[in-house]
Amino acid sequence: MNWMSFAPELITLTSALWFLLLSMTARSDPKREHVAALVLSALGLAACLASVGAEGYCFAGAYKVDLFSQVFKVLLAAGLFLIVTLCGELSDIEERNRREFYVLLFVCTLAMMLLVGANHFLVVFISLELSSYSLYVLVALRRDRGLGLEAGIKYFLVGIFASGVMIFGLALLYGASGIAALDGMARVLPGIIHQPAVVIGLLLTLSGFFFKLAVFPFHFWAPDAYQGAANQVSAYIATASKVAAIGVLVRVIASAGDGGTYLVHVLAVLSVVSMTVGNLAAIAQQDLKRLLAYSTVAHAGYVLIGVLSMNPAGYSAAVFYAFALLVMKFTAFLVLVEVASDGGNLRVEELAGLHRRSPILALALMVSLFSLAGIPPTVGFTGKFLVFVAAMGEGHFTLVLIAMINVVISLYYYLLVIKAAYLLEPRQELPALRVSPPLKLLSGVLVIAMVAAGFFPNQIIRVAESAAKALL
């Protein structure tokens, strides 16, 4: 094992420890701490990029470094860096808690990096729990204690239920196969996947990842947690957390071979219900964070379409979709954070007149929502196209048809938000939004990235295909 390939995890761990030591000192300098977090997260991202080609095992084979895990670590590190860029004005986090906020942010990212590289049931469970507990506390850190605590407790209660179900599933899988290593499971599982105990064990195990991804029926926490958390924390849950969930879900599903008929049917049902429930519930939402939370539930259904295809095309489509979700959701939350600069929750009608108050933010919001809806030529369209093509290749025509109907439904509520930003006038004249030049530049780069990745997706698709091949 070359320890340099473990550099992203070590840098992230060191960053968390540094902020932990800093939290024990009396003096606090929010600006200096924000700059330090930016530098450390940028270092972590650079280390991830530098170690993309690394391979090997460590901790007696319990942890695996391959192209698949390294690609997801790049996405996670990029997600952390982007979220930290939004933390210059943490108006909804008490100043005395800001160093702990960064500790939890880095610890959670470290846990998710370990999760996508986990090769043993124990590492999977510990990593998932570490990331989940960090998120519970992050949600509860909101200045409005009542709102944050209520959301954190709801998130925690659903989370411990999912964890209990998951560990029961892991026990069933271990009992049926006698193996706890994921690469060992990949050799044994295809031969025993048709046994009822194995199918049930695998589905219960996947429940833990469904909870992270907000797949129906493990999605109930999402609207309340998004609404109750500080805006930056909601952005982190909507982006980096979902990337990690997709990574570990694809890795575990890939170990099941063709998956067997029952598993595929169950995943198809969960996909349909997640898409439909998420999109229909989003229509009725006036709080923008709740709308984006239900949108996340719908997108979890789209991701499942790629995963249940259980072929290299489906896995690479899911990897591409993880990249697309990261960019699209982050851009939407960037606008939300900037418009709601007081840290409050933003209602859809409060976007009225945004195109005059800040044209670049209005443009970023419009492109991100068009991309989330799957309008060409955006990265969201390409992601959905790849997922649907993979499913069609396996004969899931009905599933793709239902997904396309859901895409049309989702377009309705995304257009309502765009209409508020461009066509509605505020009840009273509002001043222009003061957006810092770096964030204006970042907004412009994200808009270009979403369109460019839609027009010229070949390079990202090749990376996704190579990552998927590393699983097989």
Q: Is 122 helix (H, G, I), strand (E, B) or coil?
A: helix
Q: In percent, how much of the chain has pLDDT > 70?
A: 99
Cα separation, 141 vs 147, in Å, equals 10
Neighbouring-strand partners of residue 58: 63
State the pTM of this model.
Answer: 0.95
Contacts 24+ apart (CB under 8 A), 160-164: 162/207, 162/208, 162/210, 162/211, 162/218, 163/125, 163/128, 163/129, 163/132, 163/208
pLDDT classification of 112: cutoffs 50, 70, 90:
very high
**What average pLDDT does the structure give for the chain?**
92
Cα separation, 31 vs 444, in Å, equals 24
Which tens digits make up the pLDDT trace of 328-382? 999 999 999 999 988 889 999 999 999 999 999 999 999 999 999 999 999 999 9
Secondary-structure percent of the chain, ordered helix, strand, coil, rounded to 5: 80, 5, 20
Q: What is the mean pLDDT of residues 376-402?
A: 94
Give the pLDDT score at 169. 93
Give the pLDDT score at 237. 96
**Which amino acid is residue 113, in one-letter code?**
M
Helices 379-393 and 288-308, axial angle in degrees (round to 10): 30
Which tens digits make up the pLDDT trace of 273-316? 999 999 999 999 999 999 999 999 999 999 999 999 888 999 99
Give the pLDDT score at 90. 85
pLDDT classification of 238: cutoffs 50, 70, 90:
very high
Q: Residue 26: exposed, middle, or buried by beta-carbon count in 10 A (0-12, 13-18, 19+)?
A: exposed
Q: Is 347 helix (H, G, I), strand (E, B) or coil?
A: strand
pLDDT classification of 88: cutoffs 50, 70, 90:
confident
- Model confidence at 95: pLDDT above 70: yes
Cα separation, 330 vs 405, in Å, equals 25
| End-to-end Cα, the chain, rounded Å | 21
Here the tokens at position 288 are 């923008």
Give the pLDDT score at 92. 84
Cα separation, 240 vs 228, in Å, equals 18
Neighbouring-strand partners of residue 120: 181
- Please count the CA atoms within 13 angstroms of the CA of 264 that sit on its side-chain side: 19
Cα separation, 386 vs 108, in Å, equals 30
- Model confidence at 109: pLDDT above 90: yes
- Please count the CA atoms within 13 angstroms of the CA of 275 that sit on its side-chain side: 27
* Residue environment code for 243-256, b if the CB has 16+ CB neighbours within 10 A, otherwise e: bbbbbbbbbbbbbb
Which tens digits make up the pLDDT trace of 434-448? 889 999 999 999 999
Cα separation, 221 vs 79, in Å, equals 22
- Model confidence at 391: pLDDT above 70: yes
Torsion of CA 62, 65, 67, 68, to 10 degrees: 30
Neighbouring-strand partners of residue 287: 347
Domain boundaries, the chain: 3-471
Give the pLDDT score at 29. 83
Give every CB contact of residue 62 below 8 A, 6+ residues apart in sequence: 118, 119, 120, 122, 123, 181
Nearest to 88 by CA among 435, 391, 423: 435
Give the pLDDT score at 259. 67
Q: How many CB atoms lie within 10 A of CB 396?
A: 21
**What's the per-residue H, E or C state across 316-339?**
HHHHHHHHHHHHHHHHHHHHHHHH
Q: Residue 91: exposed, middle, or buried by beta-carbon count in 10 A (0-12, 13-18, 19+)?
A: middle
